[in-house]
Structure 1
Amino acid sequence: MKHFFCVALLTVCIGFSTSAQIVNVESLRKVTDTSGWSGAASLNFALKRNVNDFLTISNNIHVQYKMNEHLVLFKNDIEFQKIEGARLENSGISHIRYNYRFHPRIAWEVFTQGQYNKVSLIDFRGLLGAGPRFKLSNSENYKFYLGTLAMYEHEEISDGVTPIQRTLRGSLYLSFSLYPTERISVVSTTYYQPRISQFSDYRISSQSSLLIDLFANFAFKTSYTFTYDAFPAVGIPNSQYDFTTGITYSFD
């Protein structure tokens, strides 16, 4: 389990806690040379703040299938939030990604994603994109990746003001993972996603996670995520953060 999570890619859009607007796929990849199925499931508790302070319980499941140079990832997350002891809100995200490594240092990825987030007033956000991912290091104790891609976005906001958005966005990310010991992993990824036709409309997301192996296939995981959206829904702050702690179970 010393290679519990790899930080490799991602590309696009995503960076997680479900409530985040960009999902971090880096935390999904498992480092393995064996073909076949693998994955992980986790139960998380989080204290967050955006418009209000609230407690969150989330369930995250991801599965991957690897065969030679091909890799398929599937992610499904559901989150329930109790805001200031009163309202109960929820959010969810489903993500599918195909990865083809045609060079030891370069891979091509195609993905699609759908999500909703009641707290951020996102009724629906659909994404479809593709792009290359570059491996910048060869060490097994630390890994660096750089990615660029383009994606189409369809977004419906329930603030009563914002019309349906159909846009093209770019996505640039830098990701690294460190393995200081066999039981500890540190993963960090930062994304920058500007609207192609208007660079002043951009999103930034940065997530850092610490994983500590406990026993068998279980690990303790704590993550901090910061997101910034230049043009969020009306009434939603530009910046948000998540601090999440939980237990993760992985399988091969």
Structure 2
Amino acid sequence: MKLPLNFIKSICCISIFVIGFTVKAQLVNIESKRMHTDSLRFVLSSDLLFNYTDNNGEYILQVSSNVATQFKSKNLNSIYFLIGNVNLIRSKDEDFQNSYFLHARFNHKLTELVRLEAFIQNQNNQKLTISERNLLGVGLRLKMFSKNGSLAYFGNSYIYEIESVIDSEQKFYNHRNSSYISLNQNFKKYNIDITGTFYFQPLYKNISNHRILSQFKAEMPLTKRISFSALYNYSVINFSSVLEDNRSSNVSFGLTLNL
């Protein structure tokens, strides 16, 4: 069915003015969601978008919601972290985007430089080759550098994952390694916070089956509770099999509410 020009313009406008960060691939950068809050024990960050457009009976519905919350133990040595995302873009005849993401993480301070992390994750995206991914992981996070507003981290984890391909009803049970480097710089003079992250996640038994994610994020507080953010993602999923490889890139701009 050929869509009217006004309807296509509506889709473009809605896509441009998305509030916050939307998940569009199985690779998700947890670093961009971490909350560096020092002695503050509880933090909640969330945003919500609802948009409905109808042109002569042809409609498009968009719902996008993100939430991130963090709780620290009384001695500040343990951190409990939860993030979630739902993104739906639907027309009368087709879903352009239909995904959700849940991630829970426990972080415990072993020394001033080393933390132990354990996490669980569930995500679903009906528009990708791997439509559902569930995983459990455990690993270490190392603080490599911290000085004058600059932070550098290296992390390495073991992941057990279950991946599902909806078209063929296949399931894959994998043992995967996950390594990342994260660099963060706070420019106090300009009130801007910049984070760059690179992930590499190969299978232990077949390194050519891997996932790569690079991300650049800039955030600038507008008020005490509201921040403006810009985000660029580029990801590659190489299956090294008959499955079609996935490549994805996106740029998003938005406002974030911090409570």
Band of TM-score, shorter chain: 0.7 to 0.9
| Residue aligning to 2:178 | 171
What are the equivalent positions in structure 2 for 1:1-252 lying under 5 Å apart? Answer: 17-43=22-48, 58-67=64-73, 68-81=76-89, 87-160=95-168, 163-181=170-188, 183-231=191-239, 237-251=245-259
Q: After superposition, give the CA deviation of every residue in 1:64-86 in whole Å (9 maximum; x if it has no partner).
A: 00122000000110012358x95
Shift of 1:61: 0.2
TM-score scaled by structure 1?
A: 0.82
Asked whether the equivalents of residues 42 and 246 of structure 1 are also in contact (C-alpha less than 8 Å), the reply is no
> More deviation in 167-176 or 113-122?
113-122
SS in 1 for 2:222: strand
Alignment root-mean-square deviation, CA? 2.6
SS in 2 for 1:199: coil
Which stretches of structure 1, 4 residues or more, deviate above 4 A after TM superposition?
232-237
Counterparts of 2:109 and 2:127, CA distance in 1: 37
Asked whether the equivalents of residues 44 and 244 of structure 1 are also in contact (C-alpha less than 8 Å), the reply is no
- CA gap of 1:198–1:243, structure 2 versus 1, over 3 A, is same
Asked whether the equivalents of residues 129 and 243 of structure 2 are also in contact (C-alpha less than 8 Å), the reply is no
Query: How many residues in Structure 1 have an aligned counterpart in Structure 2?
Result: 226
Asked whether the equivalents of residues 17 and 23 of structure 1 are also in contact (C-alpha less than 8 Å), the reply is no
Structure 2 residues without counterparts, runs of 5 or longer: 1-20, 51-60
TM-score scaled by structure 2?
A: 0.80
| Residue aligning to 2:15 | none
| Structure having the larger proportion of residues in helix | 2
- CA gap of 1:43–1:178, structure 2 versus 1, over 3 A, is farther
Over the matched positions of the two proteins, sequence identity in percent amounts to: 28
Structure 1 residues without counterparts, runs of 5 or longer: 1-15, 46-54
Greater CA radius of gyration, 1 or 2?
Answer: 2
Counterparts of 1:104 and 1:151, CA distance in 2: 25
